[in-house]
Amino acid sequence: MNPLDPKEFRRQGHMIIDFLADYYQNIGKYPVLSQVEPGYLKNLMPEFAPLSPEPIETILQDLQQHIVPGITHWQSPNYFAYFPSSGSTAGFAGEMLSTGFNLVGFNWVSSPAATELESIVMDWLGQMLNLPKAFLFSGSGGGVLLGTTCEAILVTLVAARDKMLSQIGRESICELVVYVSDQTHCAVQKAAHIIGIHPKNIRVIKTIKSTSFTLSPESLSSTIQTDVQNGLVPCYLCVTVGTTSTTAIDPLGPLCMVAKKYGMWVHVDAAYAGSVCVCPEFRHFIDGIENANSFSFNAHKWFLTNLDCCCLWVKDPASVIKSLSTHTVYLENSATDSKRVVDYKDWQITLSRRFRALKLWLVLKSYGVVNLRNFLRSHVEMAKTFEGLVKRDKRFEIFVPRNLAVVCFRLLPSAVAKISNGGSKTEDVAKISNGGSKTENVAKISNGGIKLEDVANGINRRLLDSINGSGTVYMTHAVVGGVFVIRCAIGATLTHTTHVIMAWKTVQEHADAVLNY
Amino acid sequence: MNPLDPKEFRRQGHMIIDFLADYYQNIGKYPVLSQVEPGYLKNLMPEFAPLSPEPIETILQDLQQHIVPGITHWQSPNYFAYFPSSGSTAGFAGEMLSTGFNLVGFNWVSSPAATELESIVMDWLGQMLNLPKAFLFSGSGGGVLLGTTCEAILVTLVAARDKMLSQIGRESICELVVYVSDQTHCAVQKAAHIIGIHPKNIRVIKTIKSTSFTLSPESLSSTIQTDVQNGLVPCYLCVTVGTTSTTAIDPLGPLCMVAKKYGMWVHVDAAYAGSVCVCPEFRHFIDGIENANSFSFNAHKWFLTNLDCCCLWVKDPASVIKSLSTHTVYLENSATDSKRVVDYKDWQITLSRRFRALKLWLVLKSYGVVNLRNFLRSHVEMAKTFEGLVKRDKRFEIFVPRNLAVVCFRLLPSAVAKISNGGSKTEDVAKISNGGSKTENVAKISNGGIKLEDVANGINRRLLDSINGSGTVYMTHAVVGGVFVIRCAIGATLTHTTHVIMAWKTVQEHADAVLNY
């Protein structure tokens, strides 16, 4: 047994490449959202691991027959759910090389190229984003590649907490307050919980439709003032550039001004929208970044870099290192002692780390800045096309202004009202919105117990289920301001305008069916 | 620009496979430890990301010319540093498939196969380890794949903290105490810091040579008693099966008995040694596991599964989920509502997650249980061979008993003493141990200011630097009980007995040179 025999590695490697190339070739044939039932795989798999080896040919058959049907095809051109998981040949090649070298780059000496390429690529990318020098190694800051935004938030939260506790004393941990909006990613609340912020000290500030569900500097300011009056200590603010539900862009500049007064750490979570800020015409989304402390985006979302790859820049790496560094004898080495190197283990939660920089390096070199920008723009253009199609169908509305390549839309209550007013039986409306047929619901509607908005929510939910159940396309939903909206997130690498137009046709067909139910 | 064009994907994919197959073929030709200087890459790379695309051919040339020299070759058969990073064709193939599908399996619905295969594989592996049913899905527990042990520790620490705080109140966070030994991985102290354990409440219990640097149940018990008397609350104990420095095996059974009295969470960190417990003859290392709360090991260390892949089992998944679950509207779905599925996002720190189960599935199927056991055994046999060689050279000693495939050895103080007693000039001893030649050091030695043990430490350090500077092999060090030892960690996939014998010859040659300096 030689598990790294070059000849066998080559043979099997080529087989896997062909398997995946065929997969991409045929990906449009699969239902985008897997249609399996919970527990489907258990009956298809043996109860115990095999005692004897199986040939790769058998394993790939097994994969095709049993695993692929249980996969939701994030690389499908008809994938419009959540946010994209943006793969590419270059991103894949980079990950292969990283997996092949299989090195553990926790500090510089464990593999100097892993650290140095990461620092270089992070400065390249920082320059593309026109980040202030203060965030770059060529200035006084620096960047690091993590797995996900959740880690970026945890890293910066710990640094912010410790910075504040070093002033007010560790015993005051229960006085620290973290600020988010009701549109901020749940990662912040989870990370705040993990680092020991008292649950009652996480402020979730309400957003409203008239300001497109962005965090209001005035609301933030008044919330902080109340906390300070109550003897609490403002610690961390997360500003979102491109929220998950609707890609809302929080007003970074004014929010930083509020936070600055209280010496809080401001993190800018641009998980989704950060990528597109490499285009000059979208760079204004992060105007004001010079007053933030840290900034992150996911290159695996919309930057052709296969999962996982989160880019985090911090203005003051020392504060992160202070919180996260470890000193163990068995990792001591003269390079670290010389203080001439970066040891990335001190910039992250874990010790071990993959050579993630390779894939970002391959993406940047393989496509080049100009093409990357144009590629991102093409998704925004496709979203405009989709938006235009929605607007032309009077049964629908665009629920919030489109900022980038996500369109949030829904069947209008007025379209739904037609059903309840004679387009269909009242009873049916109740069925649709509740998925049941109890007469008590009908009574509720006639007595005003169920509002038209609720009925609309129910029907839009039913519409989305109907669309996704078809397997033709996959979209997901959000609920903002109490309203259920369907999100069409454009950005899968294989998506072209034709897919977007087909997606809209699918929506219309299912709307016809649902409304005439 | 079509970054996922199947034809181009196929062409480039095959090129990368050939690149890596050639790399494995020639890996013995590279210096194992990279010999570059800090900052070497900056001058070789342009200051800005390229505006235009570069062909893959150019990129691979660049990689070979500039990146490969900066890589420390963890896959080299002459790699004996830290712990192995155990790659294989199957592990690589699994990671390729996962990267190719590029799905984000945060919950069941986002890709059912990713979740279900993970649960199945974790039960397979748990059965191979003969874990009690209480840790398996087929019992009342369950397993999850994380990136690293650091995450496993963080996850279990948060669960343990919250379990305790739910009894004594969140405000009591500063009273919680975490227990480790001075041989426990630094990940525990780092994680404890992250979750807000007061720095003064992390107990680092001293270990001694006579008990092979294992954590003493008596020391643990008396430490806890003192804390309890002082009104503190014991919360979490990390027991290590295979410590980083010397692969010491903490006495799991008796330690659990102590912890049980106080209702503490016991986590078993078997990052390195867990793999080999699939062999019945080594299973006794985790006897007593039935009284622990959680158990983890790194399949990427010594189980042919490319980085990263940490396997964590917990007895009470509900306690982890209670601490780490998130509820957001945009992730709501009927499968989750049905409570018939696992949503792994609630078992980990981050939301996004890769399809890691694929590579473990491929490893288990490609090699089979019997071969995997034999492969691990072969490394233990090679370590016995190395140990035998060390023992035959009277200048050396095996510093602590070898448990598995790591040998901790050093030049004996008596061998070093020969130099200072006439084998060489006293002045040189000072040079060797201090790396300098100040006469004040010579004076110190003659006056007893530098102890022979310190001189021995200095010379062993010099020996290791000399070995690693040659590029022929790469080993690392530990300092235990004040003694500097060289670690020879056997387990790189390509290592055969011949490499181990050559490694020992290299050590001897450099010892000759250092001692005759």
CA–centroid distance for A447 within its chain: 42
From the number of C-beta atoms within 10 Å of its C-beta (0-12, 13-18, 19+), residue A221 rates as middle
CA distances from A402 to A278, A316, A391, A488 (A): 19, 34, 12, 11
CB–CB of B173 and A170 under 8 A? no
Nearest to B232 by CA among B302, B154, B179: B179
Interface probe with B: pick from A106, A269, A352, most Cβ of B within 10 Å: A352
Nearest CA-CA distance, residue A422 and chain B, Å: 31
**Chain B residues inside the 8 Å CB shell of A23:** 100-101
Out of A39, A117, A306, closest to residue B340 by CB: A39
Nearest CA-CA distance, residue B81 and chain A, Å: 9
Out of A21, A158, A170, closest to residue B9 by CB: A21
What's phi and psi for B79, nearest 5 deg? -90, 115
Handedness of CA A178, A182, A186, A187 (dihedral sign): negative
CA distances from B340 to A41, A42, A465 (A): 13, 13, 19
Nearest CA-CA distance, residue A468 and chain B, Å: 12
Nearest CA-CA distance, residue B230 and chain A, Å: 17
Nearest to A404 by CA among A498, A487, A494: A487
Report, as an integer, the average pLDDT of A355-361. Answer: 98
Quick check: B87 and A9 in contact, CB under 8 A? Answer: no
Report, as an integer, the average pLDDT of A67-71. Answer: 98
Domains A117-350 and A377-515 share a fold: no
Q: What is the pLDDT of residue A372?
A: 98
Q: What is the pLDDT of residue B423?
A: 46
Residues near B274 by Cβ (< 8 Å), separated by ≥ 6?
A: B129, B241, B242, B286, B295, B296, B297, B298, B311
Out of A10, A85, A352, closest to residue B21 by CB: A10
The per-residue pLDDT for range B367-423, each reduced to its tens digit, is 999 999 999 999 999 999 999 999 999 999 999 999 999 999 999 999 987 665 544
CB–CB of A99 and B16 under 8 A? no
CB–CB of B50 and A369 under 8 A? yes
CA-CA distance, A320 to A328, in Å (whole number)?
18
From the number of C-beta atoms within 10 Å of its C-beta (0-12, 13-18, 19+), residue A134 rates as middle
CB–CB of B102 and A96 under 8 A? no
Q: What is the CA radius of gyration of chain A?
A: 25
User: Does the domain at residues A117-350 carry the CATH identifier 3.40.640.10?
Assistant: yes
The per-residue pLDDT for range B496-506, each reduced to its tens digit, is 999 999 999 99
The per-residue pLDDT for range A172-191, each reduced to its tens digit, is 999 999 999 999 999 999 99
**pLDDT exceeds 90 at position B359:** yes
- Tokens encoding A100: 């092949």
Strand partners, A314: A142, A294
Per DSSP, the three-state class of B78 is coil
CB–CB of B326 and A186 under 8 A? yes
| Percent of chain B's residues with pLDDT above 70 | 94
CB–CB of A148 and B354 under 8 A? no
In chain B, count of helices (H) and strands (E)?
17, 12
Q: What is the pLDDT of residue B450?
A: 72
pLDDT band at A196 (very low <50, low <70, confident <90, very high): very high
Q: What is the pLDDT of residue B448?
A: 56
The fold for domain A377-515 equals Aspartate Aminotransferase, domain 1 (3.90.1150)
Nearest CA-CA distance, residue B260 and chain A, Å: 25
Q: What is the pLDDT of residue B447?
A: 52
CB–CB of B36 and A112 under 8 A? yes
CB–CB of A117 and B23 under 8 A? no
Interface probe with B: pick from A9, A272, A494, most Cβ of B within 10 Å: A9
Report, as an integer, the average pLDDT of A315-329. Answer: 96
A248-260 b/e (C-beta count within 10 Å ≥ 16 → b): bbbbbebbbebbe
Parse chain A into domains and list their residue ranges.
6-81, 117-350, 377-515
Interface probe with A: pick from B14, B15, B17, most Cβ of A within 10 Å: B17
Nearest CA-CA distance, residue A387 and chain B, Å: 21
Nearest to A265 by CA among A345, A189, A320: A320
- Nearest residue in A to B112, CA atom: A70
Question: Which CATH architecture is the domain B371-515 placed in?
Answer: Alpha-Beta Complex (3.90)
Q: Which amino acid is at A387?
A: E
The per-residue pLDDT for range A223-242, each reduced to its tens digit, is 999 999 999 999 999 999 99
- Say which CATH class B147-331 falls into: alpha beta
The ipTM, to two decimals, is: 0.95
Q: Which of B8 and B429 is assigned the larger pLDDT?
A: B8
- Nearest residue in A to B45, CA atom: A120
Report, as an integer, the average pLDDT of B132-154. Answer: 98
Nearest CA-CA distance, residue A290 and chain B, Å: 21
Strand partners, A203: A179
Q: Which amino acid is at A74?
A: W
CB–CB of B40 and A72 under 8 A? no
Report, as an integer, the average pLDDT of A279-299. Answer: 98
The per-residue pLDDT for range B201-230, each reduced to its tens digit, is 999 999 999 999 999 999 999 999 999 999
Residues near B30 by Cβ (< 8 Å), separated by ≥ 6?
A: B68, B71, B73, B76, B471
Cβ neighbours, 10 Å, residue B257: 14
Q: What is the pLDDT of residue A435?
A: 47
Which residues in A353-482 belong to E strands, given as ranges?
A: 396-398, 406-411, 474-480
- Nearest residue in B to A338, CA atom: B38
The fold for domain A6-81 equals dopa decarboxylase, N-terminal domain (1.20.1340)
Cβ neighbours, 10 Å, residue B429: 25
